[in-house]
């Protein structure tokens, strides 16, 4: 499988979590509106699975703001209708990030151009 990955400290514990955005084979990991993103929590030794989010596509922003101690991830989602296109905030619920960003409401605040960490541009 082809993928992109990056590492960002999402929970501000000094360890950088692993974010893996799958790319192909397309029929395995992707659909019309994006692909699958896996998030792995960094441990002292290695990583543990945290979340699977789909469909999603870059670019995304890891915001400075956080929910339940984990940084929010701002992603752009688009549906069949242009009116459905919006930025959404993937907020940590205490156990994981939301699985399906398409069902989230529009984010009330989109990060400014220099705010947060841009990933998967």
CA distances from 115 to 9, 64, 86, 108, 111 (A): 15, 7, 18, 15, 6
What global pTM score does this model have?
Answer: 0.91
Burial 54-72 (b: 16+ CB within 10 A, else e): bbbbbebbbbeeeeeebbb
* Mean pLDDT for the chain overall: 91
Q: Determine the average pLDDT of the residues in 22-28.
A: 91
How far is the C-alpha of 22 from the C-alpha of 43, rounded, in Å?
22
| Residues 61-82 pLDDT 10s | 999 999 999 999 999 888 666 6
Cα angle, residue 29 at apex, residues 87 and 70 outer, rounded to 5°: 45
């Amino acid at each position: 499988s082809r993928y992109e990955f990056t590492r960002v400290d999402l929970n501000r514990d000094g360890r950088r979590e692993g974010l893996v955005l799958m790319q192909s084979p397309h029929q395995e990991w992707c659909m019309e509106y994006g692909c699958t993103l896996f998030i792995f929590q960094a441990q002292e030794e290695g990583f543990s699975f945290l979340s699977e989010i789909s469909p999603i596509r870059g670019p995304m922003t890891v915001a400075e703001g956080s929910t339940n101690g984990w940084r929010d991830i701002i992603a752009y989602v688009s549906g069949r209708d242009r009116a459905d296109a919006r930025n959404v905030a993937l907020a940590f619920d205490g156990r994981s990030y939301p699985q399906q960003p398409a069902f989230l409401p529009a984010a009330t605040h989109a990060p400014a151009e220099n705010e947060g960490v841009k990933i998967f541009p």
